[in-house]
Amino acid sequence: MVEKKAKIDKKQRRDEAVIVREVRTEEVYPIRGNIFEGKVTSAKANKTVTVERELIQYIPKYERYRKIRSRIKAHNPLSINAKEGDWVKIGETRRISKTKSFIVMEVLKGKTQ
């Protein structure tokens, strides 16, 4: 007899959401999927930041490690307003534009590397 696995409700898995208060509207972006931390390298675009995070990858053939940088574009709400050089926490959400599917959840204070 085959047992069925109990379905995990998405609401049980992640109850996080970012409420964005813009000038006239209030939107809710449910956070689903990945949550990353990284450093804001660019905040030039309107309501958009580029977040860079460093990863370490093991190469078994050479028995060594290498550093990889990943750059992710994220939505920067006016209520959070992350600046260049800040350490931020970003979460995956619905597609906001062609290149943005992450949103800045919070600015992490005192994070240095």
Q: What is the CATH number of the domain that holds 50?
A: 2.40.50.1000
pLDDT of residue 112: 54
What are 29-83's pLDDT values in tens digits? 888 889 999 999 999 999 999 999 999 999 999 999 999 999 999 999 988 889 9
Three-class SS of residue 47?
A: coil
Distance from the Cα of residue 68 to its chain's centroid: 17
Expressed as residue numbers, the domain containing 96 is 34-108
Mean pLDDT for 79-105 is 93
User: What is the number of structural domains in the chain?
Assistant: 1
pLDDT of residue 101: 95
Determine, yes or no, domain membership for 53.
Answer: yes
Determine, yes or no, domain membership for 56.
Answer: yes
Percent of the chain residues topping a pLDDT of 90 = 63
| Rounded Cα gap, residues 9 and 75, in angstroms | 26
Mean pLDDT for 18-26 is 66
* Global pTM value: 0.74
Is pLDDT above 60 for 5? no
Determine, yes or no, domain membership for 28.
Answer: no
